[in-house]
Structure 1
Amino acid sequence: MRDINIKATEYFEAVARLGSVTKAAGELGVSPSAVSQQIRLLEKQFGVKLFRREKRKLILTLDGDRLFQTTTQAFSAIRNARNAISRQREGRSLTIRVSPSFGVRWLGPRIYGFLSENPDWNIRIDATPDFTSFEMEVVDFDLRYGLGGWAGLTELCVMHDLVLPLCSPDYLKHLRSISADPAEQLQHARLIDSVKTLFRWDLWLASNKIQIPNLSYPLRFDRSSMSIELAKQGGGLALDSVNLCLPELRRGELVPFCPEIPVIDFPAYWLVCPPRHFSRRIVNRFAEWLGNESDEHERVARNTLKDLGCSFRPETGSGLIQVSPSAL
């Protein structure tokens, strides 16, 4: 093979296949003169003419046609192999879009478990509040926060949300020093508003028949992770998801404001994608892993809340605020 000019052969194949030196030069990314030079070198090596011109057209000679039949099959096979390798490499990747707080606080601490079980796969996690436009973007699936009902997409409920007011032990002690009545405590509490949650203070207060004159929020955040962090530091009372702060709750850094008021319990975290995406083995594998992780998490979360004296109040769509859901 060392006496074969591979470069010249590649240029010849392109010219013969496209029927033009100019078109071949465009495909190869070189000048037409460079292509012509390689053709002359190949003809000199073989000692025959490979093309003849007829009315400004390039026509393969008999020898040229014989060489073209062989080279085009060989280069076509190489191109097919290259494409197959590229598809295989790309097929070993998984792209996930997830809401920022859920990605950092829940998925982030667990994702290594999936990676260790699937070491040959490349994982990309895009933490953003924007849902994927699956017809325009290359994303395998979203982990969405919302009430479901996304038309044309497969939805798998990953986890229920467990929502209740939370604060630091010292802040709770401060509120109880004001009054033994939770309703009166709330009137003096600094309420932290997570503006993109589905179950916010106004709905929670109304559902528990608690009235606060001139309800206001001195602290408002568009990320639950910020609300939870401030509550942990003693900055106020956050109405938020146990799913995002279970470690703090188990360590006692956060405590339920009033265990006697039931925890709001509703399906809120979903794996969402077009049905065709489940034809990928890795998507099914991740969905199975995610289901196992979320089942274990919910078991621990519910047991932790029960140990703290809490009960649960299931809610469905009619009991929840009907807003356009956005990411935590």
Structure 2
Amino acid sequence: MRDLNLKGTEYFEAVARLGTVTKAAKELEVSPSAVSQQLGQLESQFGVKLFRREKRRLILTLEGDRLFQTLTQAFGAIRNARSAITHQRAVRNLTIRVSPSFGVRWLGPRIASFAAENPDWNIRVDATPDFSAFETELVDFDLRYGHGGWAGLAETCLLHDFVLPMCSPAYLEELRGYSDDPKEQLRRARLIDSVKMLFRWDLWLASNRIEVPDLTYPFRFDRSSMAIELAKQSGGIALDSVTLCLPELQRGELVPFCTDFAVIDFPAYWFVCPPRHLNRRIVRRFADWIEAACADHEAQMRGFLEGVGCTFRPETGH
């Protein structure tokens, strides 16, 4: 490709398409002699005639027609690529990565309000438990679940989580039919395991000095949304996040298993990105919006739990 006369191919394509040097020169905004010179150089390079003259028109030879067909496809592909790149550059995109359950149950019902305030932006939400590799992926920021402390990244705690055992009112009545003792109820209960929660049943039982012989889980899910849904359907007790199911608690579809046990309270949801990303106005705008929305949600959660008699046990890690 180094010795290919690219300007000559451009001039040749215009002449072949328009039929005359004069028309091609007008389209290219050059002189007819400049076009003729480039055609001569191209024919010398290929060692063949690309046109034959019939009256006042130039007709492609067999070799010229083959080159023209190839160039038509190549130039078309280049024009399409340029159009796509230009359009992509003109469109304003915001890409967010978020854990699946938080994305579906918390962010999903709220993000329309942010979109309405920023109608010129296209918002992509990538729901995955995997954190972004910011140096190789085109992601503006993560909404991460964890204890924080990600080296080299700017992080802001958005939301404390409140974790406690929850079940349906019907299932709680069923357990109370066995015993009035909550510890004995837990020994008989079907425990639903959310495998990606930071605080799981084994840790919670040990911290509350409850022994459950032969601890087993008839249900194990890698999505809190599935564990919460099963608990709503009286499938067992879920040890899970109030952040993800406050509406179900407010409607009475779920209830705390027992308010004698303190709610685990810890910073859990974080806004995370490279520091340079905070220089983007839309990133700062989203950060401000979600901080306000999370503060309101956390106040609602704390108020609800206090209202039903829960106490809190702050945790900073295992």
Structure-1 residue corresponding to 2:271: 271
Structure 2 distance, partners of 1:195, 1:239, is 10
Q: Does 1:22 align with 2:8?
A: no
User: What do residues 61-89 of structure 1 show as CA deviations (whole Å, max 9, x unaligned)?
Assistant: xxxxxxxxxxxxxxxxxxxxx99975762
Match of 2:22 among 6, 19, 41: 41
The answer to whether the 8 Å contact 1:99/1:127 transfers is: yes
Query: Secondary structure of the residue that 1:149 maps to in structure 2?
Result: coil
Matches within 5 A, 1:312-327: 312-317=312-317, 320=318
Please list every run of 5 or more consecutive structure 2 residues that lacks an aligned counterpart in the other structure: 44-82
Query: Secondary structure of the residue that 2:203 maps to in structure 1?
Result: helix
User: Which amino acid counterpart does residue 40 of structure 1 have in structure 2?
Assistant: V
Matches within 5 A, 1:253-268: 253-268=253-268
What count of residue pairs does the alignment treat as equivalent?
Answer: 272
Q: TM-score, normalised by structure 2?
A: 0.78
The answer to whether the 8 Å contact 1:25/1:35 transfers is: no
Structure-2 residue corresponding to 1:50: 34
Structure-2 residue corresponding to 1:290: 290
Cα 1:43–1:285, aligned 2, differ >3 Å: closer, same or farther?
A: closer
Structure 1 distance, partners of 2:235, 2:195, is 17
Structure 2 distance, partners of 1:25, 1:213, is 84
Query: Secondary structure of the residue that 1:49 maps to in structure 2?
Result: helix
User: Which amino acid counterpart does residue 90 of structure 2 have in structure 1?
Assistant: R
User: What do residues 164-187 of structure 1 show as CA deviations (whole Å, max 9, x unaligned)?
Assistant: 000000111111111111111110
User: Which amino acid counterpart does residue 89 of structure 1 have in structure 2?
Assistant: A
Q: Does 1:210 align with 2:210?
A: yes
Structure 1 distance, partners of 2:145, 2:212, is 28
Structure-2 residue corresponding to 1:77: none
User: What do residues 26-73 of structure 1 show as CA deviations (whole Å, max 9, x unaligned)?
Assistant: 7x6xxx8425657933687676522758xx699xxxxxxxxxxxxxxx
Cα 1:171–1:277, aligned 2, differ >3 Å: closer, same or farther?
A: same
Which segment is superposed worse, 165-174 or 126-135? 126-135
Structure 1 segments of 4 or more deviating over 4 A? 18-21, 35-39, 42-48, 82-88
Q: Does 1:163 align with 2:144?
A: no
Please list every run of 5 or more consecutive structure 1 residues that lacks an aligned counterpart in the other structure: 1-17, 59-81, 321-328
Matches within 5 A, 1:114-193: 114-193=114-193
User: Which amino acid counterpart does residue 248 of structure 2 have in structure 1?
Assistant: E
Q: C-alpha displacement at 1:250, in angstroms?
A: 0.4
Q: Does 1:231 align with 2:212?
A: no
Q: CA RMSD in A?
A: 2.8
The answer to whether the 8 Å contact 2:8/2:42 transfers is: no
Query: Secondary structure of the residue that 2:212 maps to in structure 1?
Result: coil
Percent identity, aligned pairs only, is: 60
The answer to whether the 8 Å contact 2:265/2:313 transfers is: yes
